[in-house]
Chain A
Amino acid sequence: MKFPAAELIASAFFIICLLTTGVGALIAVFTTRIIRSVCGLAITCFGLAGLYYFLTSPFLALMEILIYVGAVCVTIVFAVMLSEPDEPPREESRGTVVVWAGVALLASGAIFFGLWQLSLTAGWNQPVQRVSQGTVQDLGVSLLTTYSMPFEVISLALLVAILGAIAIARTGRTKP
């Protein structure tokens, strides 16, 4: 038996996820204090996790929360604690600020409008025939057979990145 108004509830959750993503991105971009910007990024990642869930990949939704909120945002917070990254007050005159903000808004608005038009007006016809369902089992089998080489390479890349991060961040400490 189907739950009453299940599609309506799912659509409401979908809209909530969309709004969370958008509002988080706006917070991440427009606030002056960087720590609020990091919180905006975390909110965006929660919304994205919901969208991934609607895209029938709950594994990626969990990974989004685990990696982005749990690792990336926390690392950025550490960096915020170690430096003073708040936006400085503007030194230029008021007119220059308005002009450059207008240029940036125009550029990003043009990008958004073009892609929005394209994605809403293009006729996305129904999908081609599926060869798998994209479950977690399919993911694991693909990772260990077809994509085992990129899997190993990315583990190497992560190792090199961590070693490089330690090496770079350590050098400043020995200086007087």
Chain B
Amino acid sequence: MNNPLYQHPGFYLATAAFLLAAGVYGILRRRTLIGMLISGELIFSAASLNLMAFNRFKAPDPAVGQIFVLFIMGLAAAEVAIALSIIIAVYRNYRTVKTHELSELNG
């Protein structure tokens, strides 16, 4: 076997597609803010994995994609911090994080 499994970019790309699909399904189906946030993290991971696969197999300079994914991780951490603080503020004011009951606009 001159070309083992982990040298095929298709497997990485298919996994990234699966993560993206799972994240989209979660965002459509979850009815709490934290569940939607977790699905969003799955989509972030899908994007990172896609970038890393192309970085490994197609890019002339493999450092670029790694740096880009590092920046994605930093931005995802910042986004999670902000989103969770917003969720906690919403919970303090409404006593719920269910998206069905957060239908009031004139807070």
Q: How far is the CB of A12 from chain B (nearest CB, A)?
A: 9
Q: Contacting A119 at CB < 8 Å: which of B9, B41, B81?
A: B9
**Cβ of A115 and Cβ of B20 under 8 Å apart?**
yes
CA distance A165 to B80 in the complex (A): 9
**Cβ of B67 and Cβ of A143 under 8 Å apart?**
yes
Q: How many A-B residue pairs have CB under 8 A?
A: 254
Chain A residues lying within 8 Å of B14, measured Cβ to Cβ, are 115-116, 119-120
Q: How far is the CB of B80 from chain A (nearest CB, A)?
A: 5
For the complex with contacts A82-B91, A87-B35, 9 further pairs of A-B residues with Cβ separation under 8 Å are A25-B22, A26-B22, A64-B73, A72-B41, A100-B29, A124-B57, A165-B85, A168-B89, A172-B93
A interface residue numbers (CB < 8 A to B): 7, 10-11, 14-15, 18, 21-22, 25-26, 28-29, 34, 37-38, 40-41, 44-45, 48, 51-52, 54-57, 59-60, 63-64, 67-68, 71-72, 75-76, 78-80, 82-88, 91, 100-101, 103-105, 107-109, 111-112, 114-116, 118-120, 124, 127-134, 138-139, 142-143, 147, 150, 154, 157-158, 161-162, 164-166, 168-169, 171-173, 175
